[in-house]
Amino acid sequence: MIRYLLLFCCLMVGSVLYAQTSLGGKVIDDTGEAVLFGNVALYKNGVLVSGGTTDIDGNYNLGNLDPGTYDVEFSYTGFQTQRITGVIIYAGKANKLDATLTSGVVLNEVVVVDYKVPLIEQDNTTQGGTVTSEQIRQLPTRNINAIASVTAGAASADEGDAVTIRGSRSNATDYYIDGVRVSGALIPESEIEQLQVITGGLEAKYGDVTGGIISITTKGPSNKFSGGVEAETSKGLDPFNNNIVGLNLSGPILKNRTNGQSILGYRFSGRYTYNEDDDPTAIPVYRVRDDKLAEIEANPISIVNGNRITAAEDLTNEDVEILDARPFEAFKRLDLTAKLEARIGRTIDVAFTGTYSNREDQFTPTSTLNNSSIDSWRLLNAHHNPFDLNDTYRGIFRFRQRLASANNESNSNALIRNIVYSLQFGYEKNTRSQKDTRHGDNLFDYGYVGDFNYSWN
């Protein structure tokens, strides 16, 4: 019976600890001796996320963390408190961070040290790359697929197109948000804390993947109220009229009166995008003049020597105008993202991420006239361009608990230490439809030409 119990415990510990994102290292003093039972605190956006203590050898380990950028604070009685800022924790890796504390105490003073990215990543068993929120802000693109394409082994034929990884089909690339596999519309790049692209050495937790993984971690609430507004337009500067308006708010809802730390926080963001032409072409755009179009619609067919001839066949260069942008190609998109995080006691935290995306894309159906390269639909019928409508609803819930003996993390004699488990649930609904501006949902109107009455004289 004891053997089975031990086997069960090993399996549980293995399932909890495999391939988790963690931070560990060693804390020593200025003489090189290990700091025993020192305190380690992990902060993100000013919010205390996790913490622990060093063991008898000065080692510590904080497991099951969300990827992102953190501040790590080390403290111990008789030593100067040290805070290392900008520590980047990569997804699926055992990240390392050592610290050296200086003896002596200066009241109300904390030594702040900037984090230096190591040249060699330890415990790197996968191939690919990671893009942080700071790097995303510096990239000249807002498209997630284009951002992922900067990683070696990932490629996109055009900005916004699906990503192919190492020659696989684009449908072999799986997307994850906060650890849950998703499909449909993704979140705006401004809400990404970290984007990881895995091109090889996939871990077993991802299951049946024949291509690669794009894993996104969303930003979380801050300990202080903050917000931002963005606005961008090209109106008057080019014929495409690209516009973006965005808003984000973050802050605490409830705070601990003792230490001032947030125990319930929120982050909300919204973005509206409007483009008159979302995919500019490199070749001229031809469109029949409005007066000529009205003439053709009034008399579409003429009889010459008993033969029916369409009026469009008599078009000349004077009847066509060259446009700088494609007409009736408007693109509209609304993205809403909300995240709530709550810390229940010292060992339990929960998080909920909700997203909604509405996209309306007017497009030109592909067609040709007389086997030529002229797009007959755009030439004569662009004002009847149909719409591609997409809606995405998504909710992600996570429950995480850190196990410790009697909830006392500083107990050096605890049998269970630094063990973390989490439960995640996701719900997603995607709807898509294509509609003509005239027929809408009346399916039997599509393809209907009309009634013709003939009179023979």
Q: What is the pLDDT of residues 203-242, one digit of tens each?
A: 777 777 878 888 899 998 988 899 999 999 999 899 999 9
pLDDT tens digits, 143-171: 888 888 888 778 877 766 778 888 788 88
Q: How far apart are CA 386 and CA 404, in angstroms?
A: 59
Q: Are the C-beta atoms of residues 296 and 287 closer than 8 Å to each other?
A: no
Band (379; pLDDT cuts 50, 70, 90): confident
On average, the pLDDT of the chain sits at: 82
The set of residues, in sequence order, having a beta carbon less than 8 Å from that of 203 and lying 6+ positions away, is: 18, 19, 92, 125, 126
- In degrees, rounded to 5, the angle at the alpha carbon of residue 55 between the alpha carbons of residues 53 and 59 is 85
**Is the predicted pLDDT of residue 308 greater than 60, yes or no?**
yes
With CA atoms as reference, report the closest residue to 287 among 207, 376, 210. 376
Band (352; pLDDT cuts 50, 70, 90): very high
Q: Which two tokens stand for residue 239?
A: 């014929």
Q: How far apart are CA 65 and CA 41, in angstroms?
A: 13
What pLDDT, on a 0 to 100 scale, did the predictor assign at position 206? 78
Amino acid at 228: G
Q: How far apart are CA 127 and CA 202, in angstroms?
A: 8
Among 108-117, 277-286, 346-355, 439-448, which stretch is predicted with the lowest mean pLDDT?
A: 108-117
With CA atoms as reference, report the closest residue to 346 among 225, 245, 241, 259. 259
Within 10 angstroms of residue 55's Cβ, the number of other Cβ atoms is: 17
Backbone φ, ψ for residue 301 (5° rounding) = -135, 140
Q: Are the C-beta atoms of residues 49 and 89 closer than 8 Å to each other?
A: no
Strands (E), 102-144: 111-114, 127-132
The set of residues, in sequence order, having a beta carbon less than 8 Å from that of 21 and lying 6+ positions away, is: 63, 64, 65, 66, 67, 89, 90, 91, 92, 93, 95
Amino acid at 331: F
pLDDT tens digits, 253-286: 998 888 778 889 999 999 999 999 988 888 888 8
Q: Are the C-beta atoms of residues 101 and 38 closer than 8 Å to each other?
A: yes
What pLDDT, on a 0 to 100 scale, did the predictor assign at position 11? 41
What pLDDT, on a 0 to 100 scale, did the predictor assign at position 124? 64
